[in-house]
Amino acid sequence: MSRRRRRARRAGVVSISVKEYAVTSPKDLPYGEDRIMVRWNKIRWRCREDYCKLGPFTEAITQVPARVRSTLRLRRQMAKAIGDAARSVGRGRPG
């Protein structure tokens, strides 16, 4: 487990206290015609420092930040598709 994933941001300490486990299913890119089902057993940590007002926090990774329901690669692909569609609308009919 990466120390960065379990660091209480406000207290700046690494948590070793597990509160509970949470299962999440972020949406991801399909693989060809097949959909991919991602299931991630995340850990909910708690900061034990008295001065920390953060409360419980859930681990996060770069590809799936906290409170996000889709992977970074899916969001990038959707943004690219929207940009491509917007460019095609801006072009007039050839001829």
How far CA 46 is from CA of 9, 10, 27, 65, in Å, comes to 11, 12, 26, 18
**Average pLDDT for consecutive 10-residue bins of the chain (95 residues)?**
55 76 89 86 84 78 83 89 78 58
> How much is the pTM?
0.56
Domain boundaries, the chain: 4-90
pLDDT at 83: 86
